[in-house]
Amino acid sequence: MKNSGKPVRYGHLKSVRITVWIYFFIFIVSILVLMWFTFSVSLEANYKRMKVSNIFDVANYILTDWSEDEFTDGNLDQLAYDNDMCILIQDAYGNRVYSYDMMAGNCLIHGFFTTDLYKYRALAKESTRGIYYTEVRNPRFNNEVLLFVMVLGDPSDPSGYIFLNTSLEPLNSTIGIINRQIIIVSAMLLILGLGISYFLARLIETPIVRIIKSAKKFGEGDYSAKFDGHGYTETEILADTLNYAAEEISKVDSLRRDLIANISHDLRTPLTMVKAYAEMVRDLSGDDPVKRQEHIGIIIDESDRLAALVNDILDLSKLESGTGELNYSTFSITKKIHDIMGRYTLLSEQDGYKFFVTTKSDFEISADIIKIEQVLYNLINNAVNYTGENKTVYITQLITDDDTARIEVTDTGKGIEPELLPLIFDRYYRAEKSRREVIGTGLGLSIVKQILKQHNFKFGVRSELGVGSTFWFEVKGRVTGEYSDNERNDNE
């Protein structure tokens, strides 16, 4: 399938099965060709070479015996028999001194070929080493025969001649047998090869086909489809990877659904309120300045909430898509904390909130000042929103290392259940669903998370039920001096 989802026809010739078959076939044919070559070409050449050297050995043996005048007929008979040869030894005048003929019609030096012996004797005498050998066709059986003549003594004055004759026929019959064997072995190899390649192709193909089926289902939107790659390691890894990817995709999908539901819900609530109160002003309270004031106040509050929500969504999507580049500058986070706390004075005066800020040293960091400000605001706002009856919030700056400061925002609220702690940084996660309309958008902590991640700052939360929660993050920088926070803590 291509992206369009339109079915595409794939060539079967490129399928695993056909590919395996083709390669196996090529492999087997190569082996067979190699076998034929080895047996027919090189064997024939080697055999003939061996026969020639054999005939030389026999001739030399006879020569040694002859010069010592020691050989007996019995010895020569054995020699001829062992080497599959017939032997004829003549004296200087061509008289037969010894003869062994065990090959009947194959023995050209005996019988009907004798008339030519004179000719070969002359050829041997003419040669430099007194030796002449040739391959001759035996007219009787139409087969190849090796004929060998050696002059005894001085070639110009020979004392005799050795004729040796061996058939090359056994070679042909051997080749015939081997050829037949090769044909049988070839046929067996082909059948075996086809069988093995069939099973091999199935072995490779089956898990892949299973994965393709699941992928098709998955592509059609069935997120429950499971990938099964058992068979061999690579497909198992592939299936595991796909299962992981599928799980993540289905998570993203359900998150997307939740997100849309939450956003529309969050947008609808203030919109309904704005519409309802606008209608009330138009129909009922328009003439009553007190009521009108109150209702318009609600409309303004709800519009603010709507604007805040839209801003949060925009911020988050910017942060998540990575388009929100960081604007690094060097500033004192300690001063920033105190500045922000200054802005909460109204809250503490009007609503009785108590803020305790503890900073011992002035700590300078390099970060995006606006984003870090947003992190502090989000954490402090949450602490204000979720702190308990005693309305107390602690903001602490601790120097944990030479180059690290940890900022902690602690409230004295009812805390967060341990199993919910890993979830609260997720987009739209809200532990207290019931208070949805009252405070927050459910995006504050995911914005905090994105910003701190972008800065590579560590962050986290610890919480104890009934005692309160502490949200913290660590910034990298350096201490630039003391910071007396007592004078600034006018909110205490």
Residue 172, both tokens: 């042909």
Pick between residue 167 and residue 441 the one whose CB is nearest to ligand ADP.
441
What 3-state class would DSSP assign to 396?
Answer: strand
Residue 470 in the binding site for ligand ADP (CB under 6 A): no
Strand order in the sheet with 85-91: 96-100, 85-91, 157-167, 143-154, 131-138
Only segment of 133-141, 233-241, 296-304, 425-433 that touches ligand ADP (CB under 6 A): 425-433
Q: How far apart are CA 184 and CA 268, in angstroms?
A: 84
Asked if 239 is part of the footprint of ligand ADP (rule: CB under 6 A), the reply reads no
**Is residue 315 a contact point for ligand ADP (CB under 6 A)?**
no
Question: Which one of 193, 229, 324, 440 is in contact with ligand ADP (CB under 6 A)?
Answer: 440
Residue 262 found at the interface with ligand ADP (CB under 6 A): no
Q: Which of 274, 337, 443, 475 binds ligand ADP (CB under 6 A)?
A: 443
483 touches ligand ADP (CB under 6 A): no
Amino acid identity at 173? S
* Site size for ligand ADP (CB under 6 A): 19
Of 89 and 452, nearer to ligand ADP (C-beta) is: 452
DSSP annotation of 154: E
Q: Are 216 and 1 a contacting pair, CB within 8 Å? A: yes
Length of the chain (residues): 492
| Token pair recorded at residue 13 | 């010739």
When asked if residue 430 is in the footprint of ligand ADP (CB under 6 A), the reply is yes
Q: Does 270 bind ligand ADP (CB under 6 A)?
A: no
Between CA 441 and CA 451, with CA 445 as vertex, the angle to 5 degrees is 120
Contact with ligand ADP (CB under 6 A) among 130, 193, 444, 477: 444
Give the residue at shortest CB distance from ligand ADP.
440
Residue span 372-411 as binding mask against ligand ADP, x where in contact by CB under 6 A, dash where not: ----------xx--x------------------------x
> Can you give the three-state secondary structure of 57-107, one letter per residue?
HHHHHHHHHHHHCCCCHHHHHHHHHHCCEEEEEEECCCCEEEEECCCHHHC
Give the Cα separation of 451 and 375 in Å (integer): 7
Kindly identify the residues of this chain, within the stretch 7-26, that bind ligand ADP according to CB under 6 A.
none
Q: Which stretch binds ligand ADP (CB under 6 A): 67-75, 249-257, 394-402, 439-447?
A: 439-447
Q: Which positions touch ligand ADP (CB under 6 A)? A: 382-383, 386, 411, 413, 416, 424, 429-432, 440-446, 469
